Structure 1
């Protein structure tokens, strides 16, 4: 066994035996001094491996001894070899206690190498980023006041602890820049800090109402202040966000690389660190109004329109997550950024593709999100978004929703928003052309749409039909002067919509009443097991209690009666308008 293995085994066995003082004296003994100096970096992995998460609590003397041994190692003089070993230990760290104990000696070594630090700092920070990103995050499925329980989750507590270790580690390097500015170092540290705002950051609840003084919020505030100090103008990273977005649209997975012989690679082009998620986390903090941001970091040289279009990329990306916290961040960011968007914005802006991507993802969240609060907030954001445009722009967005929502409730909501906009327009002296003539007719065709005519599933379409009937009754009663030209479309409404709807109602009511009677008849038959099958919105209801089946049928019949009443009132209005028109002739 060579001398190198002797000293490694000796110190390891002393630590295992609890002989901590003896372990600390070995490096100072004359017979081991040269051996320790020449090979001490081989001890790093042995010392670090002795540390477990509970060591500092159960064996504080062991933890303190390991800290001192690591300090002796960095004083040995072989800084480059030890530094590489410490970086490797971060990459293979098995727990947060090992990660934590490595940070201080690693920092000291980097500070000693100030004149020839080069890419070593970047390599070190990359290893830290990789370790943090690997921390698992679970979707806790908490809403409302339950979110206060999130900080008690072990994984969340772990993330908060690890993040709290970071500012004391990296801030000395920022302090150096104040007296010895280096652009490459600025970019390396800034890109590292931005990488911290991806995973797991986006999964942690940062709601200002619940966690305003929380440890994680305070840590994130420190990180964003340091990013702002380093970059000054945070918006100069917009091109990187655009590039990441374009790559994602092409499903292009290749990494951006440069020649390894280059003196310096742009850290902001490393997609592992600077990507849609990390940049979205950054701009959530900057623009969500949930954090205080230095004024100098957001210069007023960019138009609000440009800023909005870029930040909507982040909103769309965060909304694509199914977890609660990313969605919440997206909705908060979307609400804040749309406040910057000009009111009565031109419909021509909708040529920018991000608008329809935003519509599509908001529709998806408002219908399918697992969280009631996020669904409701997405609906509010849709209304806010629609009302930001001029009338022509609103109609374009609402047509898109009606054509793509494939959900009766969302289509019904779009019809209501259209009715509200028309109500505003009718108060003007000159009604906008987009609410008149052929354009109104085209919209009515979309609103009064029964995909299978009389045989359409009226239960599935109930919300859309009720909104459509309310809209039609509104416009017939409101537009007495026929500014929109609605009178010219009354025959179409009656023959192509109301007639088919009445027929469909009669068929549907007869079908459901028959099913109800079938259930009642089955109950009267003694010792006869008869299964009544009911098809609701394309789904066959089986193996459910009879009472529940009756409730479902009665609910459908109630919807039919409501629709029937609205059809009757609309028909009365149309007949009245026709009678008045004939009288005037």
Structure 2
């Protein structure tokens, strides 16, 4: 260095100056000298200076200002990587822990968005060294560090598949493993004091900070990740570590899920706490992580009730990972409950009202077919677990509020199945025979807009309602034995069929006219195409014009309209059969 003598003079002055007399410009000058060494590729010389015995006073006083430039060299993976790592290690053992911690926290706050994982992986081992030196203040300092680290990690994309996890392009999986290692000695400290003496305030604070770390981890990134016990992926290992940590710090999952009320806070805070517990419930009840230590005294119904809030949180999301976990948790919670056992009183609970509503949204609005298919299976499972009275009330609610022909058709199909079961078992008076059945049929045999109803959009419901009506007419013995029931059914049937015939006539006229127009349009376009074939340029213009007229090709329009007319034919054939059965029944003496 050209001013090497000047630098030596400055160092000698620092060696003779008491720490309290050092000025801010001394700290800045010390940083400048160290950074200059790194810039000139002289990291070995800087390390040697930091390790010399006569310089330890300087290092202890001002060494923390070199953490940032040294870490930047490590992140850039320069040739001097080993020397820089050794220098940071020496600083973390020599400098005052409080000052080093402030430097580390500032580094975390100022992380380059393009080097988040590299910076965290380089920093965490040294951060652990510093935290372990803090004594009584380590709990709050650990909490501050973990909070800032997890906030930075939340900016990284979560790998969706096992292949993406193994590639770990953005380093999230490696960082999660590093955070687990960072907390390990503190978890062991809490665990080692269990039952040995009354916990101190510091013990409780350390436990609270570790609990917050676990719950934040469950929400981000684990709630977003694909977690499956059959595939040992990096994030799966991180999830199992979190599940082991909770009981180690005296926070067993059973207590967190079943008995710890959610604290009051902002809407965002409440949602985040609920998401964390939802992921915890998924790992426990679906993936069975830690289920061996779960108390066996809790009934399946109690567990279902407790899980409904978490299921609701997951199913109210639009994210695929949340919906998958919500459907799986709902299914596993229901599977443990006996069929036909859930009482009608449960439907009065807020969660038992909201979860089916969110599930209906999945069935009708979710663009992903595999989620809709899984949702339908869970929907049927829920219906199977309701007792007869609860089924009756649930069906009424769905018919009144779903406003979706597919869902309504599915409910009507279930009503038919329940009527059939009641007739086989002779369980009259249970909601699906006699007068109670008629109250349901009044909702089933109705059209939302009377004769103006669009039958193509309500096809699922109408076809299932006609199938139910045909079944009831064929199996009328139970209805005839109930005073007035058969007469009421006949009245409802007559009005429904009459309105439906009018509606079919209107719809047939409309779709026939549309089909005729499409056919004429196809003929016209074919004629124009033949004439246009005489000129290449004209032909090209016709193609452009055709694409601009409609997004649906004439062939597709023709197919849709023909399908609509076939559907109307099917409805008419069912009505005709219903009328035949009615006429046959009139000849049978009462």
Contact kept, 8 Å, 1:3 with 1:35, in 2: the verdict is: no
What is aligned with 1:200?
221
What is aligned with 1:28?
51
Distance 1:123 1:573, change over 3 A: same
Contact kept, 8 Å, 2:118 with 2:171, in 1: the verdict is: no
Contact kept, 8 Å, 1:228 with 1:294, in 2: the verdict is: no
What is aligned with 1:544?
552
Matched, 1:574 2:586: no
CA RMSD after TM alignment: 2.7
- Deviations 1:17-68 (Å, cap 9, x if unpaired)? 222211211213467543322111222222223343xx44xx3x43333322
- Deviations 1:302-324 (Å, cap 9, x if unpaired)? 44333211211111111122221
| Unmatched runs of 5 consecutive residues or more in structure 1 | 141-146, 256-270, 530-540
Give the TM-score of the pair, scaled to structure 1.
Answer: 0.84
Give the TM-score of the pair, scaled to structure 2.
Answer: 0.84
Contact kept, 8 Å, 2:405 with 2:457, in 1: the verdict is: yes
Q: What CA distance in whole angstroms lies between the structure 2 residues aligned with 1:135 and 1:361?
A: 29
Mapping for residues 57-206 of structure 1, pairs under 5 Å? 59=78, 61-94=79-112, 95-137=116-158, 149-151=163-165, 158-181=171-194, 182-206=203-227
Q: What CA distance in whole angstroms lies between the structure 2 residues aligned with 1:294 and 1:480?
A: 51
The CA deviation at 1:201 is 1.7
Q: What CA distance in whole angstroms lies between the structure 2 residues aligned with 1:412 and 1:189?
A: 50
Aligned counterpart in structure 2 of residue 38 of structure 1, from 51, 54, 61: 61
| Unmatched runs of 5 consecutive residues or more in structure 2 | 1-23, 195-202, 532-548
Aligned counterpart in structure 2 of residue 221 of structure 1, from 222, 240, 243: 240
Distance 1:286 1:453, change over 3 A: same
Post-superposition, which runs of at least 4 consecutive aligned residues in structure 1 deviate over 6 A?
A: none
What is aligned with 1:230?
249
Q: What CA distance in whole angstroms lies between the structure 1 residues aligned with 2:291 and 2:506?
A: 65
The CA deviation at 1:176 is 1.8
The CA deviation at 1:556 is 0.9
Which shifted more, 362-371 or 112-121?
112-121
Q: What CA distance in whole angstroms lies between the structure 2 residues aligned with 1:98 and 1:552?
A: 59
Mapping for residues 525-540 of structure 1, pairs under 5 Å? 525=524, 526-527=527-528
What is aligned with 1:8?
31
What is aligned with 1:418?
415
The CA deviation at 1:432 is 3.0
The CA deviation at 1:397 is 1.6
Aligned counterpart in structure 2 of residue 449 of structure 1, from 446, 450, 454: 446
Mapping for residues 308-319 of structure 1, pairs under 5 Å? 308-319=304-315
Instruction: For residue 477 of structure 2, give the secondary structure of its aligned residue in structure 1.
Output: coil
Distance 1:65 1:558, change over 3 A: farther
Distance 1:148 1:2, change over 3 A: closer
Aligned counterpart in structure 2 of residue 562 of structure 1, from 553, 563, 570: 570
Q: What CA distance in whole angstroms lies between the structure 1 residues aligned with 2:553 and 2:429?
A: 54
Instruction: For residue 249 of structure 2, give the secondary structure of its aligned residue in structure 1.
Output: helix
Aligned counterpart in structure 1 of residue 318 of structure 2, from 318, 322, 329: 322
